[in-house]
Amino acid sequence: MHITNILDMKTLLMGNVVCTFICVVVLAILWRSNHRRFPATEYWLRNMVLQFSGLLLIVLRGTIPDFLSIMLSGLMIITGVMQLCIGFESFLGRKPSLRPANYALLAAFMAVHAYFTYIEPSLKYRAINYSIVLMFFCGQCAWLLLARVGHERHPGTALVGGVMMAYVFLNLGRIVFFASVSPSDNVFTVSAYDVFMYLAYQVLVIALTFGLVLMVNRRLYRELDDDLQARKKSEAAVRLSESRLARAELAARSGNWELYLDTGEIFASSGAESVYGISGEHFGYEAIKAIPLAEYRPKLDAALANLIQNGTPYDLEFKIRTPDTGQVKDIHSFATYDPETRVVFGIIQDISDRKAVERELERLVQIDTLTGVFTRHHFMALAERELARAIRYAGKMSVMMIDIDRFKSVNDTYGHQVGDRVLKELGLVFWAVLREADIVGRMGGEEFAVILPETELTQTVEVAERLRKAVERTAVPLEHGLPLSVTVSIGIAPFAGAKTNVDTLLAHADKALYEAKREGRNRACIFEN
């Protein structure tokens, strides 16, 4: 039995409708999971919804007005492909462009379609007109994906670009077919070519959906790998610091001393003399007592007395100023006491290098080395403290979430070194615009949070606007080309009472940040319940 006797056109069209609906569901799931990270998914979902709606209108031909089944259906399908192209631009980090030529072509398509619908009705010329415009927009997508990007930076684009090229050739074949034959003006008349074409469209729409999911998943995998590599570098830096600390402890100078209580004499090794910065002829008990900084002397006297009288362990850290050079050193000292001989035996160690490394490690834990603002961990600790104070004293407080607009495209286009430079410049802007009492933390990547103590909502909006404008005015110099400018989107959440916690405030500010992104970026939005 011939295939055209088995399949009618409505069956083929309904197959396309069902297939496209399934793809709508898949892309809706993709959009729901990734729309904040990849705004392109919204454009892809729009395309598939428009494709589905257009095909459904075609299936209803004869039961609904021709304007809907012919004119509107064609407009929806063509517009869907335009949304697809805009989505590709967004995914590749390019600013979506409203090309006047595209809209002029869309207007011309509708005019030609109307002519061959109402003035000189012709399915043949409508099909040719439809295929020409589709081929043009699909060709745009293919050119963007195959010729304008580096696939090592945007994995998965080659596959989707191949699918778009298949759309181009399919529409080219459709043009040739309709130009060489005179089909029936009944859209539901089926031929072997129609069976092939509509089945091919089903295969391609599935392949396109699969390709879009693959593009997003591969991009997520790459970003995860980048984060993993960054974490490995951070862990390596910590291990290096710990190694330096161990070496500093081994290399620290030390010495021993003995204090004879009956005579008041004191013996010191050459190492102890070197640590204290006193030569042998000047090394005495009274001289030793004067070397520690004034704030430590009462503690040291009390510890020595407790050791002699009660046997309390003597193990202290303190600071001294050496008489010879005036250098301030960190000292670790411990001592024991022999009551029979009335001699105190002590050991001192210069731990200045170790203390310096410890302070540096503490700084690394608290301060983001690239931007100069607080790390996420330290920011959260300070935020909890500030929130508790606001609750206790019924004070005012606001939170801002700040995100650099299209920062991923900066890294992809210019490299991570330029991206780091942008982050560093943003840190300088924070210090220039915000108060000393304000708390700024890097929450991850290009996202920052700010706590504004004792600040009304109106004042916070003013601060956000000053910050936004300051970033907009900041130009990051490049080795080649004009300086790079970026913008930020800001979400604001006010302190809402005693039942509020830090996570809730940040979540509210994050929702406001998303609204700022959705409204066009480079703006500040306030969270509203």
Percent of all residues in the chain with a pLDDT value above 70, rounded to a whole number: 86
| Alpha carbon distances (Å) from 448 to 28, 47, 65, 430, 478 | 29, 33, 54, 10, 24
* Per-residue pLDDT, 50: 93
421 has pLDDT over 80: yes
Q: Tell me the C-alpha distance between 391 and 173, whole Å.
A: 71
SS3 content of the chain, % helix, strand, coil (to 5): 60, 15, 25
Place 488 in a pLDDT band, splitting at 50, 70 and 90.
very high
* Per-residue pLDDT, 148: 67
149 has pLDDT over 50: yes
Q: Tell me the C-alpha distance between 511 and 492, whole Å.
A: 9
- pLDDT tens column, 447-465: 999 999 999 999 999 999 9
* Per-residue pLDDT, 266: 81
* Per-residue pLDDT, 3: 43
| Alpha carbon distances (Å) from 314 to 72, 324, 348 | 90, 27, 12
Q: Give CA torsion, residues 367, 369, 372, 374, to 10 deg.
A: -30
- pLDDT tens column, 268-307: 777 777 777 776 555 666 777 778 888 888 888 888 889 8
190 has pLDDT over 80: no
Indicate the burial class of 269 (C-beta count within 10 angstroms; 0-12, 13-18, 19 or more). Answer: middle
* Per-residue pLDDT, 183: 59
Percent of all residues in the chain with a pLDDT value above 90, rounded to a whole number: 26
Chain-centre distance for alpha carbon 360: 27
* Per-residue pLDDT, 14: 83
- Phi-psi label, residue 444: left if phi above 0, alpha if psi -120 to 50, beta otherwise: left
Place 191 in a pLDDT band, splitting at 50, 70 and 90.
low
| Alpha carbon distances (Å) from 34 to 40, 48, 141, 149 | 9, 17, 21, 22
- pLDDT tens column, 198-212: 788 888 888 888 888
Strand partners, 491: 401, 525
- pLDDT tens column, 323-363: 777 888 888 888 888 888 898 888 888 877 777 776 766 66
151 has pLDDT over 60: no
DSSP string, 221-261: HHHHHHHHHHHHHHHHHHHHHHHHHHHHHHH--EEEEEEET
Arithmetic mean of pLDDT, 170-177? 87
Collect contacts of 247-255 with beta carbons under 8 A, ≥24 apart.
248/353, 248/354, 248/356, 248/357, 249/351, 249/354, 251/353, 252/349, 252/350, 252/351, 252/352, 252/353, 252/354, 253/349, 253/350, 254/347, 254/348, 254/349, 254/350, 255/347, 255/348
Arithmetic mean of pLDDT, 362-380? 84
Supply the pTM of this predicted model. Answer: 0.45
506 has pLDDT over 90: yes
Place 471 in a pLDDT band, splitting at 50, 70 and 90.
very high
**Higher pLDDT pick, 234 / 402:** 402
Residues ≥6 apart with Cβ < 8 Å to 308: 261, 337, 344
24 has pLDDT over 60: yes
| H helix intervals, 35-180 | 40-59, 66, 73-91, 100-114, 123-147, 157-180
* Per-residue pLDDT, 238: 61
* Per-residue pLDDT, 250: 40
* Per-residue pLDDT, 290: 77
Q: Taking Cα atoms as reference points, which of 521, 524, 523 lies closest to residue 90?
A: 521
* Per-residue pLDDT, 252: 46
Arithmetic mean of pLDDT, 45-58? 90
Place 194 in a pLDDT band, splitting at 50, 70 and 90.
low
- Cβ atoms of 386 and 441 within 8 Å: the answer is no
